[in-house]
Amino acid sequence: MASTDGIVQELAGFLVLGALLEELRARWGSYELVDHWQQGEFHHDIVVRVPPARATLGGDILVIATNCNGGVKEVLCFAAIPERCALWHARCPQNPEFSGEAPRAIATARTDHWFDPCDLLRPDARSEYREAFRERQCGGGWLARSAPR
């Protein structure tokens, strides 16, 4: 039987979210989409539960970090769902807008798509939105400005 690190590395090796989710279905029969967190324009965390995976992974929660095109940057395995701000606090501990204690990751795998996610949160971070049409997200990063009501 492959180690947790080996399995998580294999999953990350699919490099594209759709292919990775199909692999989850093939390995464990199903998965549950627990949450989707977007931080800025270019980072998404997809939180999934794979119920029968606890025996093989040591945890049943996967956080799949992707870029805006669904390219897998990182896969993390947890025994419990991390809070969003706590996960970002672990990634960018110097950012005062994030706080909390994330559970320890059982395994982590990064791909060639990975880069320091804190770079996306800087005030001078690249944006595809014109300044008049964007707003800063809590913690950093840009989102489309909400339409006036």
Q: Which pTM value belongs to this model?
A: 0.93
In tens, the pLDDT along 56-86 reads 888 999 999 999 999 999 999 999 999 999 9
Closest CA to 70 of 97, 52, 43, 105: 43
pLDDT digits (tens, 9 = 90+) for 31-44: 999 999 999 999 99
pLDDT at 147: 63
pLDDT tens digits, one per residue of 90-130: 999 999 999 999 999 999 999 999 999 999 999 998 899 99
- Kindly report, residue by residue over 1-14, the tens digit of the pLDDT: 578 899 999 999 99
β-pair partners for 108: 76
CA angle 18–136–121, rounded 5-degree value: 65
The one-letter amino acid at 56: T
What pLDDT is stored for residue 1 in this prediction? 54
Note the pLDDT of residue 57: 87
SS3 content of the chain, % helix, strand, coil (to 5): 30, 25, 45
- What is the structure's pLDDT at 4? 86
Closest CA to 88 of 124, 123, 139, 127: 139
- Kindly provide the b/e burial profile for residues 123-136, where b requires at least 16 CB atoms within 10 angstroms of the residue's own CB: eebebeeeeeebee
Q: What is the pLDDT of residue 149?
A: 46
All structural domains of the chain with their residue ranges: 4-114
Question: Which of 43-47, 92-96, 132-136 shows the lowest mean pLDDT across its residues?
Answer: 132-136
- Which residues have a Cβ under 8 Å from the Cβ of 142 and sit 6 or more positions away? 40, 41, 125, 127, 129, 134, 135, 136
